[in-house]
Chain A
Amino acid sequence: MHSAVQVPISTLRGVMATDTAQKVQEVRQVTRIERIGAHSHIRGLGLDDALEARQTSQGMVGQGSARRAAGIILEMIKEGKIAGRAVLIAGQPGTGKTAIAMGMAQALGQDTPFTAIAGSEIFSLEMSKTEALTQAFRRSIGIRIKEETEIIEGEVVEIQVDRPASGTGVKVGKLTLKTTEMETIYDLGTKMIESLTKEKVQAGDIITIDKATGKVTKLGRSFTRARDYDAMGPQTKFVQCPEGELQKRKEVVHTVTLHEIDVINSRTQGFLALFSGDTGEIKTEVREQINAKVAEWREEGKADIVPGVLFVDEVHMLDIECFSFLNRALESDMAPILIMATNRGITKIRGTNYESPHGIPLDLLDRLLIISTSEYSEKEMKQILKIRCEEEDVEMSDDALMLLTRVGIETSLRYAIQLITTANLVCRKRKGQEVEVEDIKRVYSLFLDESRSTQFLIEYQQEFMFSEKGAGESESMEVA
């Protein structure tokens, strides 16, 4: 049972009907797909053209000097000439280290590879530490290359998406495309339907579809549709209907990472693939071959290297072997810019008994540019909480926000942010429109923050399990 949502557009009424239909569908999809993450409000570094930090911009608040420093690093990355530099962002917990890294990723845009990993991610039984690091490095180097691919280019005659009546299940669809010479009907898969709806493709649009990746690009509207009484923006472009065959071979420029090329070339071929256990490791010979090949393409002018960024969060979780590997890896001219973040002060280097600032050996520290973040002021904290409220769609009264800011100052920013969501739920339960002081008080009493919890533990230590052993002997955490 399918209910058809047809999209043939010939009259104004038709246009409006489909627009609303599309909007409803869109809202549904957004609520389903996009979830609100800890850093989903960040859209960039919030700098002006002179690389000065605006107080509040693109989701960023405060940390002016750190953001300015990050902006300069960003310029260095964009120029793409210098390989293997490393930057350390250091600061107390909850001062926006990861936020700055995310802001840099956003500011770099789609074409520059940005890989984010956490320091503990590289420890795995399937793969050695250095292999995991090498893969992360190679994921952060892009190769811009010309390749011949098959594309479909034509004018949309009709697009039809059938949704199952039950509301769930697989959607199926049909797309009719034409050129001046021919017409073809395509069956659409779910992914294709999604990207067509995202691009808002309608009848009368001229589109191209990359056959291998399924990427849809809207070129403009057909000239033959110019007389329709469509409401159109000033940027609507009119294009001629393509000629000849729908499917063409075209040279397109795209960016792939070195790691992707590694993977393509390292698959064991033929029936031997059945016997080779897939450990996920890539042979050094394969990498060397690919490096040689890339160098060759570069000399022939077929490819460009796009150095990207590798971001390692919680870098103190790496051990001494990883650090010495990094020392060496940064010297390669294929190395990306390495950004690390840590919230530790002077502490033990993992895997040794030596202490060092940030838990990083001095020889590596010597190669780093260090950016430090500082505590937020009350005003900044209030600003951040306000942004988070908007991001989570929470209405909050001024008094409640003031109180929450105080809570944030007393405890931590993260705890305060947690309270936004919970207070909103409490507010909704009592059918309120706006989060009030009462709601904040209620969740504050329901959920302990870290210092109150510690206080509680100290007071009632005797009542917990194994306390008879004596509290004084508690062992320090083993990190090796």
Chain B
Amino acid sequence: MATFSWLEALKSAQKSALVQDGKKKIHFTFPDRTEMAEEYDVKTGDLLVRKWKKKKMLGGDGNWEFEVGEQYFTPTAMKEDLLRESSSNPIFVRKDTKECFQWRIRNLPYPVSTYSVTADNDARCCIVRTTNKKYYKRFSIPDLDRAQLPLEQSAVSFAHANNTLIISYKKPPEIYSLEKEIKAELQKLKAMKDGDLECNPS
């Protein structure tokens, strides 16, 4: 039932699409004024970016929060001279493949035996731990939350190479069918080409 409601929410959202640089960019505005933007690779159909922008309580725009993909340019100059994470820290990015949800944590130089990844269904999140206590991360899988599917330890696998820890979570069949439906729905959306104008200049 719940999977159905996510599809419904997408259908009811106000959408606009644009094809640019070999990517199909779709912008959703939900009835509660929350915004979501997705980018798909035109050739492979892979999801490259999914980001959210929620209204703040006091009003005003928030920042984009990335669920999938990453912000390539770091905002120039430190915001109001506060602080930011050093670039030598591990960087956590989600990048999905056809079969798996996948996360990459770059800048993690420790050997593979250091890490452990557990799926905690009660807290609805996966936890990455290191035995040397250098890195720890809890992350949820919003796709499974939206579909209200359980998290299973057996679906989790991870590998380490080139200073990068790659965690994969095999997509359950329900997600497959849901994604297929969403793709079909998005196909119906007429995308503008780069350079198209919304109205005819006469």
Task: Identify the A interface with B (CB < 8 A).
Answer: 145, 147-148, 174-175, 178-192, 209, 211, 214, 244-245, 256, 260-261, 264-265, 267, 269, 290
Give B47-65 as 1s and 0s: 1 = Cβ < 8 Å from A's Cβ atoms: 0000000001111110000
Which residues of chain A are within 8 angstroms of B180 by Cβ–Cβ distance? none
| Alpha-carbon distance between A444 and B113 when the two chains are bound, in angstroms | 83
Closest to A262 in B: B59
Q: Name A245's contact: one of B86, B88, B137 (CB within 8 Å).
A: B137
On whether the beta carbons of B83 and A187 are closer than 8 Å, the reply is yes
| Alpha-carbon distance between A267 and B61 when the two chains are bound, in angstroms | 10
Q: Name B83's contact: one of A148, A180, A183, A192 (CB within 8 Å).
A: A192
On whether the beta carbons of B60 and A264 are closer than 8 Å, the reply is yes
Closest to A187 in B: B86
State the Cβ distance, B21 to closest chain A Cβ, in Å. Answer: 21
Given A148-B57, A181-B133, A186-B83, list of 10 further CB < 8 A pairs?
A147-B57, A182-B134, A185-B85, A186-B84, A189-B82, A189-B84, A191-B81, A214-B83, A260-B58, A261-B59
On whether the beta carbons of B80 and A191 are closer than 8 Å, the reply is yes
Chain B count of residues within 8 A CB distance of the other chain: 25
On whether the beta carbons of A265 and B85 are closer than 8 Å, the reply is no
State the Cβ distance, B120 to closest chain A Cβ, in Å. Answer: 12
On whether the beta carbons of A181 and B85 are closer than 8 Å, the reply is no
State the Cβ distance, A210 to closest chain B Cβ, in Å. Answer: 9
Give B69-111 as 1s and 0s: 1 = Cβ < 8 Å from A's Cβ atoms: 0000000001011111111110000000000000000000000
Which residues of chain A are within 8 angstroms of B85 by Cβ–Cβ distance? 184-187
On whether the beta carbons of A185 and B88 are closer than 8 Å, the reply is yes
On whether the beta carbons of A181 and B81 are closer than 8 Å, the reply is no
- The answer to the question of B176 belonging to the interface, with a C-beta cut-off of 8 Å to chain A, is no
| Alpha-carbon distance between A256 and B85 when the two chains are bound, in angstroms | 28
Interface of chain B, main secondary structure = loop
Q: Name B86's contact: one of A186, A265, A269 (CB within 8 Å).
A: A186
Closest to A244 in B: B136
| Alpha-carbon distance between A245 and B59 when the two chains are bound, in angstroms | 28
Which residues of chain A are within 8 angstroms of B183 by Cβ–Cβ distance? none
Which residues of chain B are within 8 angstroms of A182 by Cβ–Cβ distance? 130, 133-137
Interface of chain A, main secondary structure = mixed
| Alpha-carbon distance between A354 and B138 when the two chains are bound, in angstroms | 72
| Alpha-carbon distance between A385 and B57 when the two chains are bound, in angstroms | 50
Closest to B80 in A: A191
The A-B contact count (CB < 8 A) is: 78
Which residues of chain B are within 8 angstroms of A192 by Cβ–Cβ distance? 81-83
Closest to A247 in B: B85
State the Cβ distance, A470 to closest chain B Cβ, in Å. Answer: 61
Which residues of chain B are within 8 angstroms of A261 by Cβ–Cβ distance? 58-59
State the Cβ distance, B114 to closest chain A Cβ, in Å. Answer: 12
Which of B81, B135, B138 has the most chain A CB within a 10 Å cutoff?
Answer: B81
State the Cβ distance, A218 to closest chain B Cβ, in Å. Answer: 16
Give B120-135 as 1s and 0s: 1 = Cβ < 8 Å from A's Cβ atoms: 0000000001100111
Contact A264/B89 with A179-B136, A192-B83 known, Cβ cut-off 8 Å: no
| Alpha-carbon distance between A75 and B138 when the two chains are bound, in angstroms | 49
On whether the beta carbons of B59 and A264 are closer than 8 Å, the reply is yes
On whether the beta carbons of B86 and A174 are closer than 8 Å, the reply is yes
Contact A191/B133 with A147-B58, A264-B58, A265-B59 known, Cβ cut-off 8 Å: no
Q: Which 7 A-B pairs have the closest CB atoms?
A: A189-B81, A181-B136, A182-B136, A191-B81, A264-B60, A265-B59, A214-B82
What are 12 pairs between A and B in contact, CB < 8 Å? A145-B58, A182-B134, A184-B86, A185-B85, A186-B84, A187-B86, A189-B82, A192-B82, A214-B83, A244-B136, A261-B59, A269-B61
Which residues of chain A are within 8 angstroms of B130 by Cβ–Cβ distance? 181-182
| Alpha-carbon distance between A178 and B136 when the two chains are bound, in angstroms | 10
Closest to A174 in B: B86
On whether the beta carbons of A180 and B133 are closer than 8 Å, the reply is yes
Which of A178, A187, A192 has the most chain B CB within a 10 Å cutoff?
Answer: A187
Closest to A143 in B: B58
| Alpha-carbon distance between A264 and B62 when the two chains are bound, in angstroms | 11
Closest to A270 in B: B61
Which residues of chain B are within 8 angstroms of A181 by Cβ–Cβ distance? 129-130, 133, 136
On whether the beta carbons of A189 and B138 are closer than 8 Å, the reply is no
On whether the beta carbons of B138 and A244 are closer than 8 Å, the reply is yes
On whether the beta carbons of B78 and A185 are closer than 8 Å, the reply is no
On whether the beta carbons of B134 and A187 are closer than 8 Å, the reply is no
Q: Name A214's contact: one of B59, B80, B86 (CB within 8 Å).
A: B80
Which residues of chain A are within 8 angstroms of B89 by Cβ–Cβ distance? 184-185
Contact A189/B59 with A182-B134, A182-B135 known, Cβ cut-off 8 Å: no
Closest to A215 in B: B82
Which residues of chain B are within 8 angstroms of A191 by Cβ–Cβ distance? 80-82
Which residues of chain A are within 8 angstroms of B133 by Cβ–Cβ distance? 178, 180-183
